[in-house]
Amino acid sequence: MTRIVSDRANKTDQVVLLPSSLEDPTKAPPGAYRVLIWTACISISAFFAALIIAYVWRSGMASYWEPFRLPRVLWLSTALILASSVTLEVARRVFRKGLWRVADRLLLVTATLGVAFLAAQVVGWRDLLAQGAYMMENPHGAFFYLFTGLHATHLLGGLIALFVVVFGRKKRRELVDVVSYYWHFLTVLWLILFEVLRTVT
């Protein structure tokens, strides 16, 4: 198969070749993962924005809306996910320098912090149940379970992506970047959800 040559080849003595993914139809073209992840993030943002609006609107109605004490473990959850974003960003920058083994270790640390975050969320759910805030009986509690449960589901997807990057045979810088963007997005999303749950009671 003939290689695709950039039109800059006629303007310079150094021939510029386009990425090999354009020659292999089984590989995604450059930037495809970024477009995909940003599209997903926009969709997720719109979905959670609608949930937050519904939550704020419903909180203004006194009927069957019973306030509860926000589980203190959520502060630990917030610290854990912030720490995981820091380690992932460091891993991304280290990976760019070619230190792949160091990056893999940092990615595993990030995954461990992510698992700890999910465990803390489970403790938060148990705390809420101990207060008698059941999903079907208290709309306030239902929104809490909905927010945290959906966010945990998306974070679980991020964990799977992390393990794919760490244990995958081929490591592409674009894939590491995309996973880090998605993880940072979930961190920001959690900060927003935590603030909403903390202030709107």
Per-residue pLDDT tens digits for 121-166: 999 999 888 887 666 667 788 888 999 999 999 999 999 999 888 8
162: three-class secondary structure by DSSP: helix
In a domain, 41, yes or no: yes
Residue 7 lies in a domain: no
Q: Between these two residues, 115 and 134, which has the higher pLDDT value?
A: 115
| Model pLDDT, residue 118 | 96
Indicate whether 5 belongs to any domain: no
75 part of a folded domain: yes
78 within domain boundaries: yes
CATH code of residue 71: 1.20.120.80
What DSSP assignment string belongs to 109-139?
HHHHHHHHHHHHHHHHHHHHHHTT--TTT-H
Instruction: Give the global pTM.
Output: 0.80
Is residue 21 in some structural domain?
no
Structural domain contains residue 127: yes
Instruction: Please give the tally of structural domains in the chain.
Output: 1
Q: Tell me if 135 is assigned to some domain.
A: yes
pLDDT at 14 over 80: no
| Mean predicted confidence (pLDDT) in 176-201 | 92
For residue 44, the enclosing domain spans 35-199
54 pLDDT exceeds 50? yes
